[in-house]
């Protein structure tokens, strides 16, 4: 798995930027990524057109899915 941070790209929408400044290439419906919560990989984030970004596997407020810079791995 490769680690990076979420960011909002004006062309592709939500994307992941890696430490070397390369990008995943745009997240799409059905992509599954892990998120860092309290220093542990303990949840996943998914996307669908009806509800947008949402978390699975932990009790994190949905608005955190919109934060730029959230550590993720895919």
| Pairing outcome for strands 33-37 and 71-73 | antiparallel
Domain coverage including residue 20: 3-73
**Residue 11, by phi and psi: left (phi above 0), alpha (psi -120 to 50) or beta?**
alpha
Quick one: pLDDT at residue 11?
79
Question: pLDDT for 26-44, tens place per residue?
Answer: 887 677 888 887 788 877 7
Q: Which one has a higher pLDDT value, 59 or 62?
A: 59
Report how many domains make up the chain: 1
**Sign of the alpha-carbon dihedral angle for 54, 60, 61, 65:** negative
pTM: 0.72
What CATH number corresponds to the domain at position 15? Answer: 2.40.10.390
Q: Please, which pLDDT band fits residue 63 given cuts at 50, 70 and 90?
A: low
């Amino acid at each position: 798995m490769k680690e990076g941070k979420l960011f909002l790209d004006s062309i592709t929408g939500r994307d992941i930027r890696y430490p070397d400044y390369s990008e995943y290439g745009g997240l799409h419906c059905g992509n599954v990524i892990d998120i860092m919560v309290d220093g542990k990989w303990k949840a996943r984030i998914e996307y669908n057109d009806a509800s947008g970004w949402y978390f699975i596997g932990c009790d994190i407020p949905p608005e955190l899915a919109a934060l730029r810079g959230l550590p993720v791995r895919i």
